[in-house]
Chain A
Amino acid sequence: MLELYGQQVSSRLLLGTALYPSPAIMAEAIKASGADIVTVSLRRETSGGKTGGQFWSLIQSLGVRVLPNTAGCHSIKEAVTTARMAREVFGTNWIKLEVIGNHDTLQPDVFGLVDAAKILAAEGFEVFPYTTDDLVVAGRLVDAGCKVLMPWCAPIGSARGPQNPDALRSLRGHFPDVPLIVDAGIGRPSHAATVMELGYDAVLLNTAVAKAGDPVAMAAAFGKAVRAGRQAFGAGLLEPRDMAVPSTPVIGMAAFS
């Protein structure tokens, strides 16, 4: 079973809670996905604290573990302060650490990310860093105290799927004992299955489910794809070959001429 910072996790699919057509559909999608970890955020509250309260009650009613994020933070200070506030509200040391470095690609500022991870790890946070697929950055994050890594496979919300499988494979090979979760860029269940077949421990996604024509059905499809990919990885995949290899026995062929 997957273990993240000492917590056993039954599902290898982590789901975001944003962009759904309604809170009810979000709740149904989470149930259909089988996810037991969902990501949440902190935002300015209006109307006397009631909007956030309603959302939080709904999430709590689902019996899932929450992974608060620092989405939208562009500086170390913003990300660290948001993390501290999230710990107080959500009562968890877990934090999905995002330090965004570019408005267009939403790619992480990996320098700020490493520094913020050091600060938070020293304060007892259990950091889930949203990072690129860069091997050296991954090493710095591990040195900073991260015991889980969350590389993107494509830009957030792009639905492009794995853009650089070789880099993902390299990360897996270099960090065999660190849980690796692909976070961002997954567009369809086959993308999720692909990264699970590479030996990734889990997948975190949001938009591909929330913006699907039928988010509940898509959540179920992703749940199956993640399980299938994991099972296939464990079963030992056949490597690609250059030439055809017949599957039907060639011995015992009838002679008609």
Chain B
Amino acid sequence: MKLTVNGESHEVAAGTLAALLAELDYEGGWLATALNGEVVPARERDGCVLAEGDRIEILAPMKGG
């Protein structure tokens, strides 16, 4: 399945957002995720089913002013 993750195209096997994070080696309780522009809380990632062409954002704490 082809997805766009943080603006880059990825071919993945994962069927859920939780599985995608594991497949792409993302780990840590400080990550925030969004699917097609809508926030997906951490507790809902297991049940968040992905579809061809979905756009996923994976964000983390960063320096800021």
Residues of A participating in the B interface, judged by any CB pair closer than 8 Å: 16-20, 26, 39-46, 48-53, 55-56, 59, 68-69, 71, 77, 81, 84-86, 88-90, 156, 206-207
A81 in contact with B34 given A16-B65, A26-B63 (CB within 8 Å): yes
- Residues of B contacting A26 with CB < 8 Å? 63
Q: Is B12 at the interface (CB under 8 A from chain A)? A: no
Q: Across the interface, do B42 and A88 meet the contact criterion of CB distance under 8 Å?
A: yes
12 A-B pairs with C-beta separation under 8 A: A17-B64, A19-B65, A41-B65, A44-B59, A51-B62, A69-B65, A81-B39, A85-B34, A85-B39, A89-B32, A156-B65, A206-B65
A89 CA / B30 CA spacing, docked (Å): 5
Output the least CB separation between B38 and chain A (Å).
7
Q: Is B9 at the interface (CB under 8 A from chain A)? A: no
A197 CA / B34 CA spacing, docked (Å): 44
A90 CA / B64 CA spacing, docked (Å): 13
A41 CA / B62 CA spacing, docked (Å): 5
Q: Given contact pairs A55-B62, A85-B32, enumerate 13 new A-B contacts (beta carbons under 8 Å).
A: A18-B64, A40-B62, A42-B60, A42-B61, A44-B7, A45-B31, A49-B58, A49-B60, A51-B60, A53-B61, A88-B41, A88-B42, A89-B31
CB nearest to B25 among chain A residues: A48
Q: Across the interface, do A49 and B30 meet the contact criterion of CB distance under 8 Å?
A: yes
Q: Across the interface, do B65 and A71 meet the contact criterion of CB distance under 8 Å?
A: yes
Q: Across the interface, do A45 and B58 meet the contact criterion of CB distance under 8 Å?
A: yes
CB nearest to A86 among chain B residues: B32
Output the least CB separation between A210 and chain B (Å).
8
- Residues of B contacting A71 with CB < 8 Å? 64-65
- Which among A49, A86, A90 has the greatest number of chain B C-beta atoms within 10 A? A49
B39's contact among A18, A20, A46, A88, by CB below 8 Å, is which? A88
A45 CA / B41 CA spacing, docked (Å): 16
- Residues of B contacting A43 with CB < 8 Å? 59-60, 62
A49 CA / B33 CA spacing, docked (Å): 12
Q: Across the interface, do A41 and B63 meet the contact criterion of CB distance under 8 Å?
A: yes
* Chain B, range 10-65, C-beta contacts under 8 Å to A: 24-28, 30-34, 37-39, 41-42, 57-65
A19 CA / B6 CA spacing, docked (Å): 23
Closest 4 CB pairs of A and B: A52-B60, A41-B64, A16-B65, A206-B65
- Residues of B contacting A45 with CB < 8 Å? 6, 26, 31, 58-60
A90 CA / B62 CA spacing, docked (Å): 11
